[in-house]
Chains A and B, each alone.
Chain A
Amino acid sequence: MINVPRTSVACQQSAALARAWAAAGGVFDPEVPVLTIADLGVLREVRIADGAVEAVITPTYLGCPAMAVIALDIETALAKAGFARCKVTTVLSPPWTTDFMSEAGRVKLKRFGIAPPAGKASRRALFGEERVECPRCGSSHTTRVSEFGSTACKALYRCDVCSEPFDYFKCI
């Protein structure tokens, strides 16, 4: 631990940055409301320059209709945290993949009843045999019902053991 005087400008700035990260990163994905945009890896960067906060986000899918809502929620969260001036920018590179999702995010997803992405989003994982575990009973005897589910990022599965249908957050 480095002992920095609490009053130093650098310290204040880093405290402000940490607050901005916490506020922006705490915004929930409107379509998967157990995950924050920090869990998802959608929030790429938070910067402060001249007292204005810039939050940088990246879409999970180009057509993701949640992006506009997420941007608005970030602005609201930052305003509530006391940042009067803020803007949200979008970047596409590097493209978002399910590998960006945090370990905590995967655990939360499973607890919510959505199977987290299995393996890495390499081409092999995209098109190899996927072993998707049922988020309810844990069995890996599951059947894909449809590659396209309730939102762009999910596929529909059914468990062959407990017979429950469930969503799978697919690798991309």
Chain B
Amino acid sequence: MLGSSSALFGYLLRLGDNALMLGHRLSEWCGHAPVLEEDLALANMGLDLIGQARSFLSYAGEVEGRGRDEDALAYLREAAGYRNILLVELPRGDFAFTMVRQLLYAGLTQRLFEALATSRDSTLAGIAAKGARELAYHVRHAAEWTIRLGDGTEESHRRTQLALDELWPYTGEMLEIDEVERTLIEQHIAVDPAHVRPGWEQALSEVIRQATLQLPNQNWMQSGGRIGRHTEHLGHILSELQYLQRTYPGAKW
């Protein structure tokens, strides 16, 4: 293991918590999607994300060295202990909202993971390389739906544009880095999102153009999740996610 273990622990929590929360949000569609194929698709993508969360959190527990495993990290932290960006904890909204969020998150994260696949930390690189291949499918799926909905009926266009307007201010957090991450970036363990930003913006603009949508013309961005300052929605997720382990500590089946 390279670098300071607490810095790496924090970085892994951020990656793992993003995947955990978005995976949970996608799982909420199970049995509720507009058509059966989408029900399967959303559940599949949710499963990919939860698999990625498990890998990141297991490794985070190992790096921390205090005996916490993936379950302890997923189920037994307080809301302020989570390091996910706010984007992924927002309620699932309608189908357009879910697809646009998936496009924004997976589009950038897929590129970030591709870059992380050459990290000097071989465990992190292994998880990222695997995750990048999975996310490539998510990006294509979300892009196809964004185009179909945006360039669809008047109502689907309206809802998709509304989703983009609401979600856009939450994208800034995906590009943030702090001092601790800067050290990891210098050690070639973490990746600076600025490196993948131009490619992401270009690919995103192309999808938005084909979908006949407009990227919001505003630069003010929400922030806070990465330092544990969350929206009220996170508490509601946790009350569901953690209920079993809080009520029956150590329950297994």
Residue numbers of A with Cβ under 8 A of B are 59, 61-65, 91-97, 121, 123, 126-127, 145-152, 156, 170, 172
Answer whether residue B165 sits at the interface, using C-beta atoms and an 8 A cutoff.
Answer: no
- Count of chain B residues with a beta carbon within 8 Å of a chain A beta carbon: 29
In the assembly, what is the distance between CA of A135 and CA of B220, in Å?
53
Q: Which 10 A-B pairs have the closest CB atoms?
A: A63-B51, A92-B126, A62-B51, A148-B41, A146-B37, A93-B126, A148-B44, A63-B47, A95-B130, A95-B129
Which residues of B are found within 8 Å of A170, using beta-carbon distances? 137
In the assembly, what is the distance between CA of A97 and CA of B129, in Å?
11
For residue B119, give the distance in angstroms from its CB to the closest CB of chain A: 11
For residue A69, give the distance in angstroms from its CB to the closest CB of chain B: 15
Q: Is the CB of B134 within 8 A of A156?
A: no
In the assembly, what is the distance between CA of A59 and CA of B131, in Å?
11
Which residues of A are found within 8 Å of B47, using beta-carbon distances? 61, 63, 65, 152
B94-113 to A contact mask, C-beta < 8 Å, 1/0? 00000000000000000000
Q: Is the CB of A149 within 8 A of B40?
A: yes
Q: Is the CB of B140 within 8 A of A147?
A: yes
Given B41, B51, B55, which contacts A146 in the complex, CB threshold below 8 Å?
Answer: B41
- Give the contacts of B125-148 with A (CB-CB under 8 A): 125-127, 129-131, 133-134, 136-137, 140-141
Chain A residue with minimal CB distance to B45? A148
Q: Is the CB of B37 within 8 A of A156?
A: yes
Can you give 13 A-B contacts (C-beta < 8 A)? A61-B47, A62-B51, A62-B52, A92-B55, A95-B130, A97-B133, A121-B133, A145-B37, A146-B38, A146-B41, A148-B40, A148-B141, A152-B134
Q: Is the CB of A63 within 8 A of B126?
A: no
For residue B212, give the distance in angstroms from its CB to the closest CB of chain A: 23
Q: Is the CB of B48 within 8 A of A62?
A: yes
Q: Is the CB of B134 within 8 A of A126?
A: no
Q: Is the CB of A63 within 8 A of B54?
A: yes
In the assembly, what is the distance between CA of A126 and CA of B52, in Å?
20
In the assembly, what is the distance between CA of A94 and CA of B51, in Å?
17
Q: Is the CB of B55 within 8 A of A62?
A: yes
Answer whether residue B49 sits at the interface, using C-beta atoms and an 8 A cutoff.
Answer: yes
For residue B99, give the distance in angstroms from its CB to the closest CB of chain A: 13
Q: Is the CB of A63 within 8 A of B140?
A: no
Q: Which of A95, A126, A170 has the most CB of B within 10 A?
A: A95
Contacts A62-B51, A91-B126, A127-B136 known; 11 new A-B pairs at CB < 8 A: A61-B134, A62-B48, A62-B127, A62-B131, A63-B51, A92-B123, A95-B130, A148-B41, A148-B44, A172-B133, A172-B137
Which residues of B are found within 8 Å of A127, using beta-carbon distances? 136, 140
- Give the contacts of B113-128 with A (CB-CB under 8 A): 122-123, 125-127
Q: Is the CB of A62 within 8 A of B41?
A: no
Which residues of A are found within 8 Å of B141, using beta-carbon distances? 147-148
Q: Is the CB of B130 within 8 A of A92?
A: yes
In the assembly, what is the distance between CA of A92 and CA of B52, in Å?
12
Answer whether residue B8 sits at the interface, using C-beta atoms and an 8 A cutoff.
Answer: no
Which residues of A are found within 8 Å of B12, using beta-carbon distances? none
- Give the contacts of B26-57 with A (CB-CB under 8 A): 37-38, 40-41, 43-45, 47-52, 54-55
Chain A residue with minimal CB distance to B35? A146
Q: Is the CB of A92 within 8 A of B50?
A: no
Which residues of B are found within 8 Å of A94, using beta-carbon distances? 129
Q: Is the CB of B126 within 8 A of A147?
A: no
Q: Is the CB of B41 within 8 A of A152?
A: no
Which residues of A are found within 8 Å of B54, using beta-carbon distances? 62-63
For residue A84, give the distance in angstroms from its CB to the closest CB of chain B: 26
Which residues of A are found within 8 Å of B51, using beta-carbon distances? 59, 61-64
Which residues of B are found within 8 Å of A150, using beta-carbon distances? 40
In the assembly, what is the distance between CA of A90 and CA of B52, in Å?
14
Q: Which of B37, B43, B50, B123 has the most CB of A within 10 A?
A: B37
